[in-house]
């Protein structure tokens, strides 16, 4: 099966490639944010690999974790890939935000193939639950609490997954999202970030995930 793994930046790409290169899985850094991720993932999926179409795309990288479900150093696999801030502010109502889906303008959730996502989570020793995509990384305790309340069970906040999932859906390709946690969602304290540890965890996680991807065929 031809698999494409998409990361935001080169350091994430190299961490994943360290585990995936021997398996012949392509890994591509597409830039930060959902727009860059969607555009460049779509181009890669349309081009395919050596004349063959991709059969799976994986959004991967590091992100912020919602405690206590996703502590620093842990691994998360998405049950849902959620556009957490795509919508409109709606002051005066019970909730100050209305999603694009609730406005009737599209979708804000993509769901990976459940059997595959659960198998990947089990292999990686990962938590399994919603992963949020945001265009602006959270920097306050108040916004962290709001996101956690709005999306019960959310594990991780990152910036590319929904863009990758939109491209995958447009191209008819199933999608996964795998994240390792470098910091806690909330007030930005760069001194507390554990980037190197999260990148090492990403390599280790994909070392355990690759055999599952290699053996997977969707559907009967």
Helices (H) and strands (E) in the chain, counts: 7, 10
Q: 134: pLDDT confidence band, cut at 50, 70 and 90?
A: very high
Whether pLDDT at 218 is above 60: no
Q: What is the distance of C-alpha 34 from the center of its chain?
A: 10
Q: Which CATH number applies to 3-214: 3.40.50.2300, 3.30.9.100, 3.40.50.1580, 3.90.420.10?
A: 3.40.50.1580
Whether pLDDT at 66 is above 90: yes
* Strands 3-7 and 56-65, sheet pairing: parallel
Among positive and negative, which fits the CA dihedral 128, 134, 139, 142? negative
This prediction's pTM: 0.92
Q: 16: pLDDT confidence band, cut at 50, 70 and 90?
A: very high
Domain boundaries, the chain: 3-214
List residues bridging with 97 in a β-sheet: 89
Question: By 3-state DSSP, what share of the chain in percent is helix, strand and coil, each rounded to 5?
Answer: 40, 25, 35
CA neighbor of 81 nearest in space, from 115, 45, 117:
117
Contact of 49 with 5, CB cutoff 8 Å = no
pLDDT above 70 coverage of the chain, percent: 97
pLDDT single digits (tens) 142-155: 999 999 999 999 99
Q: 93: pLDDT confidence band, cut at 50, 70 and 90?
A: low
Contact of 72 with 182, CB cutoff 8 Å = yes
Residues 6+ apart with CB under 8 A from 150: 84, 95, 97
Mean pLDDT of the chain: 92
pLDDT at 214: 84
Contact of 133 with 160, CB cutoff 8 Å = yes
Report how far apart, in Å, the C-alpha atoms of 140 and of each of 62, 119, 143, 152 are. 19, 34, 5, 18
Q: 196: pLDDT confidence band, cut at 50, 70 and 90?
A: very high
Residues 6+ apart with CB under 8 A from 220: none
């Amino acid at each position: 099966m031809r698999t494409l793994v998409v990361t935001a930046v080169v350091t994430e790409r190299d961490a994943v490639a360290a585990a995936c290169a021997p398996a012949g899985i392509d890994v591509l850094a597409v830039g930060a944010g959902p727009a860059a991720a969607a555009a460049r993932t779509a181009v890669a999926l349309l081009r395919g690999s050596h004349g063959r179409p991709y059969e799976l795309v994986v959004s991967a990288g590091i992100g912020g974790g919602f405690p206590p479900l996703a502590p620093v150093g842990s691994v998360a696999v998405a049950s849902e890939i959620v556009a957490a801030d795509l919508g409109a502010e709606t002051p005066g109502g019970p909730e100050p935000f209305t999603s694009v889906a609730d406005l009737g303008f599209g979708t804000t959730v993509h769901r990976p193939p459940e059997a595959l996502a659960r198998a990947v989570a089990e292999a990686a020793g990962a938590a399994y639950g919603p992963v949020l995509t945001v265009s602006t990384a959270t920097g306050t305790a108040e916004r962290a609490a709001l996101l956690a309340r709005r999306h019960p069970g959310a594990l991780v906040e990152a910036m590319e997954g929904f863009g990758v999932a939109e491209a995958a859906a447009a191209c008819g390709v199933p999608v996964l999202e795998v994240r390792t946690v470098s910091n806690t969602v909330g007030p930005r304290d760069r001194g507390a970030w554990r980037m190197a540890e999260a990148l090492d965890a990403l390599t280790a996680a994909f070392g355990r995930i690759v055999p599952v991807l290699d053996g997977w065929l969707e559907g009967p």
